[in-house]
A and B are shown apart, each in its own frame.
Chain A
Amino acid sequence: MNADLNIALAGNPNAGKTTMFNALTGARQSVGNYPGVTVEKREGFMNFENLRINVVDLPGTYSLTAYTQEELVARNYLVNERPHAVIDIVDANSLDRNLYLGLQFMELGIPMVLALNMMDEVRRSGKRIDTKKLSRLLHMPVVETVARTGEGRQELIREAVACGRKRQGEWKPLKISYGPDLDPVLLDMCSLIEAAGFMSDRYPARWLALKYLEGDIQIRHLAAQAGEIGEQLAGLREKTENHCRITLEASPEAIIADYRYGFIASVTKQGVISSTGQKERIIFSDKIDRVLTHRFFGPSLMISVLYLMFVVTFRIGEVPMGWVEAFFTRLSAAVSDLTNPGLLRSLLVDGIIAGVGGVLGFVPLIMVMFLGISFLEDSGYMARMAYMMDRVLRIFGLHGCSVMPFIVSGGIPGGCAVPGVMGARTLPSDLEKLATLLTAPFMPCGAKVPVFLLLGGAFFRGSAASVLFWITIGAWVTALLVAWVLRNTVIRGEATPFVMELPPYRLPTLKGICIHTWERAWQYIKKAGTFILAISVLIWAAMTFPSLPEEKMVSFEKEQKRIAALAESADDEKKTEDLQALLRDSRNRQAQAALRYSLAGRIGTGLEPVSLLAGFDWRSNIALIGGVAAKEVIVSTLGTAYAMGGESGESGLAEKLRKDPHWNVANAVSFIIFVMLYSPCFVTIVTMAKESSWKWAAFSMIYTTILAFALAVGAYQAGIFLGR
């Protein structure tokens, strides 16, 4: 789709950029990633006076250096795509700090419109901003907006369109003074850059010189590759740095920041901002914080909020989840009616519908959970959680922001590691993000919980709930300890600065939350439709082929026919029932024999010599291997493998396991530990690979399984020893 005009939205995080983007484009937007990085790219279309306008929501940043992926992405987009205009959305409550980024756009010279957002809050706080004066001083259109209500939206886009048309892609870099120590050297660097023609087709020379002095990694790297110019610039920089250190005791970087803030103050102090009253909004927010981050109430309220969120998620999520499940039950019944017994029916019903249905059944739950998480994020509470938890998580080499991925993954039982791993995006640094990604899947996700409940119910009668509690504690302890080990071995490195804004509490907009939730749910659904579908078919095939040899089939069939005939001719009811039970038993034995004969069964049997160390027989092995595809498979496969068929429920399976001579408390504990810790499911692994790399995803599969097996063997052997 071709657009008449490209407009980019830029600004600080929490300035209401995405809210404005939603207000402008509505639902006509798409979310993807920028190539090669995990920074989200939001794009949407809107119509304005017969023009088709493409709007891009750039990632929220505080500056334009090359330190973070977000900043690099924003900068590269502006320079490479050269949009017709940039709308800089600033939080008018803290104009000075927000203009720090705006000033860097002005130094680039890109056609720009300033949106003073959250003007409703500014007005309420009794502050006045002289918009006309600001516009005159900055030489650009300035529009007052309230993104939440859409106020100023039309005017903003009109100004952006006018600005884009007038400038016709021409960039007019602003030159501000950086004082007697830097100005001369900047001039020297500029002439060098211009003479060498170094990237001057894309960036203004002065801007390159500034970034070079600021120590920008990307620019310095490019200059070094460009040959002579790199050496010349490096020489100048070194000289300047020494000079600044001796005379001013500061780095050029610090001096540049000082002068930028000085320039901003010189603009805003000229009567642009006048305060008449109390800073109401912040005071209100402070009052809430006094309770919500209080020494005692803070942590206890945090736990209550999280607990409540999960209770609500499951209570509400249960209902639509039931509908989805009922739909798939009906679908498989309908398909069974339409097809003949045999491979096709088995593929459709046991393979595809069971597999995809099992995953899609989680969609309502995930949606409700994300609704809650989006609320916590947009309201500003999430930042407080990171603030409160940082001291604890830092000990283990993590970051305050790791708390949410852990909780979403199942830190309170019932989460899901897929959104948890995706949630690790909010972490500001790669090291802590990686440590979080690699340990979050230890948490008891919703698909593992049935396994724990099954075994807890079977072997620790009446205390399944406390079993789940201790499993959760165990998962947290393991995740934190493993994170600590990883951060001190394979992902060693300095802790990232915490420096983080605590945005004032705000009531989130319904529209924003809904769009957010839907996006994430849709990503999950797409995965279920493609990846899970393929895996389901594969697993089904492994558990079906090769099928039992002819003579064994025939012998089972003969036996079943004989019993059926007897049952038909039997006269009293009791006898008929007994015979029918016998028939069921025969069918189950056939299913079990077929499973053992299949590829999956052979692998399970082949693994026994090793797996028996942890007390897993071939049937457990199949279930656990299937569980790598999706943890939901564990219980259903145990069901098949223990010849329970689909008819009787889990309570039947618990009974069967308890009576099975192979199972005892030691097996149960070892099985629980293994399921708790071993390889994340395939969907999680794919998500991890997308968020980091395939190398780390593979590492995660291997190290978790080794750890899980070692601990399971330990637990089993100890159990056997004590049981003697």
Chain B
Amino acid sequence: MNRQRLCLREMAVNQRGTICSVKAEGELGRRIRDMGLVPNTEVTIVGRAPLKDPVALRLRDFTLSLRNNEADFITVEVCGN
């Protein structure tokens, strides 16, 4: 299986991966972490808003939405094919 690291923004709908790093700091960093987006968490993209932004993801059995420019701070390791 080949593994690939990419930015959360670049993930496709229904793609799944594991968070490697969260580079956000300050208020954004805190909010992201409070919601459980920390390294080693599994996330799945469940959808995008009609204008492609924000993005909705599933993690820890709930759904979270964040903007693309906020997703930029998060890198994810996905199983490529």
Contacts and interface: CB of A to CB of B under 8 A. Distances in A.
B38 to A, nearest CB: 5
Given A97-B62, A390-B54, A391-B54, A499 B31 contact: yes
Interface string B15-39: 0000000100101111111111011
Interface in A283-340: 285-286, 289-290, 293-296, 298-299
Contacts of A501: 35, 62-65
B1 interface: no
A510 to B, nearest CB: 25
A600 B62 CA distance: 59
Contacts of B27: 67, 496-497
Given A253-B29, A497-B27, A497-B31, A97 B50 contact: no
A285 B58 CA distance: 12
A560 B51 CA distance: 69
A707 B22 CA distance: 45
Contacts of B54: 387, 390-391, 400, 498
Contact of B28 (A65, A392, A497): A497
A564 B2 CA distance: 102
Contact of B56 (A65, A392, A502): A502
A290 B47 contact: yes
A290 B51 CA distance: 14
Contacts of B63: 282, 285, 501-504
B20 to A, nearest CB: 11
Interface in A465-483: none
B70 interface: yes
B32 A499 contact: yes
A251 B25 contact: yes
B61 A279 contact: yes
Contacts of B51: 388, 391-392
Interface in A510-553: none
Contact of B38 (A94, A251, A261, A391): A261
B53 A391 contact: yes
Contacts of B41: 261
A62 interface: yes
A100 interface: yes
B74 to A, nearest CB: 11
Contact of B34 (A62, A286, A298, A502): A62
Interface of A is mostly: helix
Interface of B is mostly: mixed
Contact of B67 (A63, A285, A497): A497
Nearest to A400: B54
Nearest to B22: A254
A97 B58 contact: no
A270 B52 CA distance: 39
B60 interface: yes
Contacts of A254: 22, 29, 33, 38
B71 to A, nearest CB: 10
A490 interface: no
Contacts of A290: 47
A669 to B, nearest CB: 34
B30 A63 contact: yes
B65 A253 contact: no
A97 B35 contact: yes
A212 B34 CA distance: 17
A183 interface: no
B64 A502 contact: yes
B67 A293 contact: no
A498 B30 contact: no
Nearest to B59: A97
A1 interface: no
A65 B31 CA distance: 10
Contacts of A65: 30
A655 interface: no
Residue among B25, B29, B49, B53 with the highest chain A CB neighbour number at 10 A? B49
Contacts of A251: 25, 29
Interface of A: 62-63, 65, 67, 91, 93-97, 100, 251, 253-254, 257-258, 261, 279, 282, 285-286, 289-290, 293-296, 298-299, 387-388, 390-392, 394, 400, 496-504
The 3 closest A-B pairs by CB, nearest first: A391-B51, A257-B33, A94-B62
Given A251-B29, A391-B51, A498-B66, 14 more contacts: A62-B31, A94-B60, A96-B60, A97-B36, A253-B29, A261-B41, A282-B58, A282-B61, A285-B63, A390-B53, A497-B28, A497-B32, A500-B65, A502-B63
16 contacts: A67-B27, A91-B62, A96-B36, A96-B61, A97-B60, A100-B34, A253-B25, A254-B29, A289-B47, A388-B49, A498-B70, A499-B32, A499-B65, A499-B66, A500-B65, A501-B63
